Amino acid sequence: MSKPQGATAVKEELNPFEIAKQQFNRAADYLDLDDSMRAVLSNTKRQLIVSIPVKMDSGHVEVFEGYRVQHNIARGPAKGGIRYHPNVTLDEVKALASWMTWKCATVGIPYGGGKGGVICDPKSLSMSELERLTRRYAFEIAPIIGPDRDIPAPDVYTTEQTMAWIMDTISMVRGHTQLGVVTGKPIALGGSEGRSEATARGCLYALREACRVRGMELSGARVSVHGFGNAGANIARFTAADGARVVAVSDSRCGLYSENGLDVAAALRHKAETGSLMGLPGAKEIASDEVLFVDCDVLLPSALENAITLENVHKVKATIIAELANGPTTPGADRVLADNDVFLVPDILANAGGVTVSYYEWVQDQYSFFWSENRINDTLERSMRAAFQSVYETAQRYHTDMRTGAYILAISRVAEATSVRGIFP
């Protein structure tokens, strides 16, 4: 791929919320959306900032800062995960909340968008510190969450256990068990079959469609996966099961590369046993971010925002990219990839399987009637294929890329709901 002239000299916007607004405005231009609707849809509805005092194991008290942002509730309650990470900022949570609005609208599930985050380094906290932090954070955001208001779920460095603590804390506060207050719970607590793998499984379904429209076989394709959390580890497993050659994977500490394909099952075992991918026998160790640039057909960014930027996009060799992470590609990099005819399945479509099965979980919780894993996966597959088709057709109709196609579809759905509801009062 040729390097765009002077690309490294361009100063690029990296604030996630500014990026979210750029993505929104690009699609709003195609729709000729008026200024009033733009103002309503590009701002966040509600932002809560909380202090979380936590008694540490050593006895002293540390105070963490946390956020819960509700971007939009025009089509239903706010929905979106909670992230624990040292680099969390309010603007990042605002961006993630707005991406949830567009994601839910893209796949047509009846939710708005929300997100939460706590600035902390979960790897340095003990289980009991994490539990106290989670319970106090849940208590602080309790006034604005609930099954019909705003439904959190896991995100980066939060798990089923985190959701169990939140569900229990809110149930204690309300005086009765409230299953549908969070999704991504353990099965024993009203969680759904298939939810833990749903983000990656949904991406697999979208990726198969992308391969189909590109006339490429996933079987035999060389795949590189950036990030080895829930989404990255599962997509490595699923693509390998589909016959792809997973040539590279990475976690926050290192990347692994093998031209002939890595043993994904061995990588999963090694990560489970040692906590990292480092030192896996039979693979070449490279820098984490190098997996973005290895020779491959399919690239699956599954870590954090701003992985592919104007500064490094010229090194990307993949011809299909499916974004399991939220916001891994900057708008500048998007334009370069589109110019180079790279087919990019955007985050708000590619990783929407997670929230889609969260929706199934919430529905099951409301009915106290639970579905089989086959039913979940079949329904998810139909939903992802239909959403891919709608986005693809929209992108074709407007002669634009898949991200803009997805935003056009999502914005028109949220704008329609907003205009028929009207502005209160």
Which amino acid appears at position 280 of this protein?
A: L
Phi/psi at 312 (5° precision) = -120, -5
User: Are residues 231 and 157 in contact, defined by beta-carbon separation less than 8 angstroms?
Assistant: no
Distances (CA, A) of 373 to 178, 338, 360, 380: 23, 37, 11, 10
Extract the runs of DSSP E, i.e. beta strands, from 259-364.
Answer: 284-286, 298-301, 320-322, 343-345
User: Are residues 116 and 360 in contact, defined by beta-carbon separation less than 8 angstroms?
Assistant: no
In this chain, which of 44, 183, 329, 383 binds ligand GLU, going by CB under 6 A? 183
In this chain, which of 44, 230, 329, 351 binds ligand GLU, going by CB under 6 A? 351
Stretch that binds ligand GLU, among 2-10, 44-52, 171-179, 347-355 (CB under 6 A): 347-355
Place of tokens 């992108």: 395
Which amino acid appears at position 44 of this protein?
A: T
Q: Give which of 293, 269, 292 is closest to 282, Cα–Cα.
A: 269
Pick 153 or 248: Cβ nearer ligand GLU:
153
Pick 97 or 248: Cβ nearer ligand GLU:
97
Distances (CA, A) of 366 to 178, 361, 371: 9, 9, 13
Strand 255-257 and strand 245-250: the pairing is antiparallel
Closest approach of ligand GLU to the CB of residue 107, in Å = 10
Stretch that binds ligand GLU, among 18-26, 54-62, 79-87, 310-318 (CB under 6 A): 79-87
Give how many residues touch ligand GLU by CB under 6 A: 12
Give me 32's structure tokens: 């000729």
The rounded distance, in Å, linking the Cα atoms of 250 and 244 is 17
Respond yes or no: is residue 315 known to be catalytic: no
Place of tokens 């803009």: 404
Closest approach of ligand GLU to the CB of residue 145, in Å = 12
Q: Which of 115, 271, 284, 315 is catalytic?
A: 115
Pick 153 or 320: Cβ nearer ligand GLU:
153
Q: Is 167 in the site for ligand GLU (CB under 6 A)?
A: no
In this chain, which of 131, 155, 160, 251 binds ligand GLU, going by CB under 6 A? 155
Site for ligand GLU in 371-410 (CB under 6 A): none
**Angle separating helix axes 160-174 and 127-141, nearest 10 degrees:** 50
Stretch that binds ligand GLU, among 77-85, 117-125, 241-249, 272-280 (CB under 6 A): 77-85
User: Are residues 174 and 143 in contact, defined by beta-carbon separation less than 8 angstroms?
Assistant: no
Stretch that binds ligand GLU, among 7-15, 299-307, 349-357, 370-378 (CB under 6 A): 349-357
Place of tokens 């000299």: 9
Closest approach of ligand GLU to the CB of residue 151, in Å = 7
Closest approach of ligand GLU to the CB of residue 13, in Å = 21
In this chain, which of 256, 355, 395, 410 binds ligand GLU, going by CB under 6 A? 355
Site for ligand GLU in 316-335 (CB under 6 A): 326
Closest approach of ligand GLU to the CB of residue 356, in Å = 8
In this chain, which of 120, 153, 206, 406 binds ligand GLU, going by CB under 6 A? 153
DSSP 80-110: EEEEEETT--HHHHHHHHHHHHHHHHHTT-S
Closest approach of ligand GLU to the CB of residue 290, in Å = 25
Place of tokens 């169990």: 164
Give me 335's structure tokens: 């334009």
The rounded distance, in Å, linking the Cα atoms of 113 and 216 is 34
Pick 156 or 248: Cβ nearer ligand GLU:
156
Q: Is 80 in the site for ligand GLU (CB under 6 A)?
A: yes
Closest approach of ligand GLU to the CB of residue 156, in Å = 8
* Catalytic center residues: 115
The contact set with ligand GLU (CB under 6 A) reads 79-81, 153, 155, 183-184, 326, 351, 354-355, 358
